Structure 1
Amino acid sequence: MTSDLLSRDEIRRRVDALGPWFHNLDLRGVPTAPTHFLGDYPNVKWRRFAEIIPDDLTGKSVLDIGCNAGFYAMEMKRRGADRVLGLDTDDDYLAQARFAAEVNDLAIEFRKLSAYDVGQLGETFDLVIFMGVLYHLRHPLLALDLIREHVVGDQLLFQSMLRGSADVDEIARNYDFWTTSPFDSPGYPKMHFIEHKYADDPTNWWAPNRACVEAMLRSAGFAILAHPEDEVYLCRKVPRPQQDGPVYPVRGAR
């Protein structure tokens, strides 16, 4: 069935059958998550930083890692991106994304693939979106390394849940073994580990502070171009400061 033949009642029936939804999408007047605890999410967040993405993405390719129901992938296609690919590991989210793109008459490809496996794509993209995924991963820095190495051609749009201080200390490039006071500062890069659940979600493994995500981005080989929203960064791919690759050998003094 083509999208122009779908009635509002049919869209509503399909939305209910594919639920529950985390993205609140407007599918021809049918909201997918109208009672979302964050409000009209993710549109309410997108409006706070949408201007950092060019209005015209003609000729550009976009990869959305952890696309969920496809909100950001669809926004990029609406701005004219030639190729948009959305990845997720959840079959239910992928089904939602495919249906939403169909209703909106947007030609977007969706595949089941994890952030750790992006090297299988064998291609790079002008813009890679990595929003709301880092803290769900048991190995977040490895994922950043792999994403930079394999799929980022130019820019990365990044977001993570942040907890702790918003301060960012100026960190020395080295400290001797007996210097411990910087670690106690709220502005030192910190990643809080969640052993069980946070917000009733057992996949919320990490809660970094601002200093931590900024340090991780730099370490993975990204220069921060803009920080338009508390949790959002636009970055450009640059040479990594330490060339130790995505698998870390044991080095240093013993």
Structure 2
Amino acid sequence: MTGVLSREEIRRRVDALGPWFHNLDLRGVSTAPSHFLGDYPRVKWRRFAGVIPDNLQDKTVLDIGCNAGFYAMEMKRRGADRVLGLDTDDEYLAQARFAADVSGLKIEFRKMSAYDVGQLGEKFDLVIFMGVLYHLRHPLLALDLIHEHVARDLLLFQSMLRGSNQVDTVECDYDFWTTSQFDSPGYPKMHFIEHKYADDPTNWWAPNRACVEAMLRSAGFAVAAHPEEEVYLCRKVARSGAAAIPAIPRGAAR
């Protein structure tokens, strides 16, 4: 139905569905032209788009925390057979459905938390987990659940990073009295945000680079490419000695 909308009608719908975090180009209408990060997320996408296969024909994609659907739509444009976007925010999902419709892209969107992905009952060739980790109260659990239930091969991951970019070589074990490693800038660290960061109460964590890479390894994802400071393309591998993943009740806090 939206395929016949005029540019002015699209503009009215965009304004009604706003504010937008993704700046999308909907047949000449920008959804967030004054974004504080610039032409986001396209400006970021250009820096790592090359690590994703140009042809995703016969592949399935799951976009967890899809927001207004920018990455889901880019995967569909690359020919992905099935693309499913998940988010917990009704307003983002409404934006995503409208944007995909205007763009003529067949994408399914559902309201679902990262903790509930086991309910999907299927695995995907590519799982996108961009800009979600630090919004979760239980971030490592979310990675474990992705590995356990929905990742078949590739994980495209991004997180806000704060602190040192240094990555130390960490020993497999330290005795109880050895503590100096914890003071090193390159030791894996995740800062807890009790109240707000950037005026956002869902910014719970601010990991450093060493922490993100350690968490990915711990959850069973091997880094295949690191094309952009915050972005990793990973392959699913077997976890060594991992504990069983507990179930999370439906509707658990982000």
Q: Provide TM-score, normalisation by structure 1.
A: 0.96
Aligned residue in 1 for 2:72 = 73
Partner of 1:251: none
Letter in 2 for 1:152: A
Q: Conserved in 1, the CA contact under 8 Å of 2:60 and 2:124?
A: yes
Partner of 1:217: 216
Contact 1:162 1:209 (8 Å CA) reproduced: yes
Q: Deviations 1:167-215 (Å, cap 9, x if unpaired)?
A: 0000000000000000000000000000000000000000000000000
For the 8 Å contact 1:219–1:242, the answer to whether it is kept is no
CA distance in 2 between partners of 1:137 and 1:51 (Å) = 28
Is 1:195 aligned with 2:181?
Answer: no
Corresponding residue of 2:37 = 38
Give, in angstroms, the shift of residue 241 of structure 1. Answer: 2.1
Displacement of 1:242 in angstroms is 2.4
Give, in whole Å, the separation in 2 of the partners of 1:4 and 1:77. 17
Aligned AA (1:217): L
Shift of 1:245: 2.3
Q: Kindly provide the CA deviation profile for residues 10-57 of structure 1, in whole angstroms up to 9, marking residues without a partner as x.
A: 000000000000000000000000000000000000000000001110
CA distance in 1, matches of 2:3, 2:70: 20
Report the equivalent of 2:47: 48
Point out where structure 1 has 5 or more consecutive residues left out of the alignment.
249-254
Corresponding residue of 2:56: 57
Give the paired residue count: 247
Given that residues 3 and 101 in structure 2 are in contact (C-alpha distance below 8 angstroms), is that contact kept between their aligned partners in structure 1? no
Q: Match of 2:250?
A: none
Alpha-carbon distance, 1:3 to partner: 2.9
Q: TM-score, normalised by structure 2?
A: 0.96
Whether 2:210 is the aligned partner of 1:208: answer no
Q: Unpaired segments of 5 or more residues in structure 2? A: 248-254
CA distance, structure 1, for counterparts of residue 2 and residue 199 of structure 2: 36
Deviation at 1:246, TM superposition (A): 2.1
Distance 1:154 1:245 in 2: 20
Distance, in Å, in 2 between the alignment partners of 1:36 and 1:5 is 28
Which residue number in structure 2 is paired with residue 145 of structure 1? 144
Alignment of 1:40-189 (within 5 A): 40-189=39-188
Aligned residue for 2:62, secondary structure, equals: strand
Superposition deviation, residue 239 in structure 1:
0.6
